[in-house]
Amino acid sequence: MTLTEGAQGIRIALDSIWANKFRSFMTILGVLIGVASVIAMVAIINGVDNSVKQTIEKLGSNVLFISRFPPNTDYSNLSDEERRRKPITYEDAEVIKQRCPSVDGVAPQNYYRKPGGNVAKYKDRVIENPSLFGTLPDYEKVNNVYAEQGRFFTEMETRHAARVCAIGWDVSDGLFHGIDPVGKTITVNNTKFKVVGVMEKREMSFANSPNNYIAIPLTTFMRIHPGEKALWLAVSADSPDHLDQAREEIINVLRLHRGVPYDKENDFAIFSQENMVDLWESITSTIVTVMIVISSIGLMVGGVGVLNIMLVSVTERTREIGVRKAIGARKANILFQFLIEAVTLSCTGGIVGILFGLAISLLITTTTGLPFAIPVVGILLGFSVSVGVGLISGVYPAYRAARVDPVVSLRYE
Please report the pLDDT score of residue 276 as a whole number.
Answer: 65
**pLDDT, averaged across the chain:** 82
d(CA 139, CA 134): 10
Please report the pLDDT score of residue 353 as a whole number.
Answer: 85
Please report the pLDDT score of residue 197 as a whole number.
Answer: 95
Q: Span 364-372, mean pLDDT? A: 73
Residue 286 buriedness (CB in 10 A; 0-12 / 13-18 / 19+): exposed
Please report the pLDDT score of residue 411 as a whole number.
Answer: 56
Please report the pLDDT score of residue 136 as a whole number.
Answer: 94
d(CA 3, CA 5): 5
Question: pLDDT tens-digit profile of 265-318?
Answer: 888 888 877 666 666 677 777 777 777 777 777 777 777 777 777 777 777 776
Question: pLDDT tens-digit profile of 196-251?
Answer: 999 998 876 555 678 899 999 999 999 999 888 778 898 988 888 888 899 899 99
Please report the pLDDT score of residue 363 as a whole number.
Answer: 85
Q: Span 157-169, mean pLDDT? A: 95
pLDDT at 28 over 80: no
Please report the pLDDT score of residue 99 as a whole number.
Answer: 92
Question: pLDDT tens-digit profile of 40-94?
Answer: 878 877 777 777 666 666 655 678 889 888 777 777 788 888 788 888 988 999 9
Please report the pLDDT score of residue 156 as a whole number.
Answer: 95
Residue 344 buriedness (CB in 10 A; 0-12 / 13-18 / 19+): buried
3-state secondary structure of 214: strand
Question: pLDDT tens-digit profile of 290-304?
Answer: 777 777 777 777 777
CB 51 within 8 A of CB 371: yes
pLDDT at 14 over 90: no
d(CA 211, CA 166): 11
Question: pLDDT tens-digit profile of 314-366?
Answer: 777 767 767 777 777 777 777 777 777 778 878 888 888 888 888 888 887 77
126 phi and psi, to 5 degrees? -135, 140
CB 153 within 8 A of CB 217: yes
Model confidence band, residue 95 (pLDDT cutoffs 50, 70, 90)? very high
The reported pTM is: 0.64
Please report the pLDDT score of residue 57 as a whole number.
Answer: 62
Q: Span 127-153, mean pLDDT? A: 92
Please report the pLDDT score of residue 150 as a whole number.
Answer: 94
d(CA 351, CA 382): 8
Model confidence band, residue 127 (pLDDT cutoffs 50, 70, 90)? very high
Please report the pLDDT score of residue 191 as a whole number.
Answer: 94
3-state secondary structure of 165: strand
% of the chain with per-residue pLDDT over 90: 28
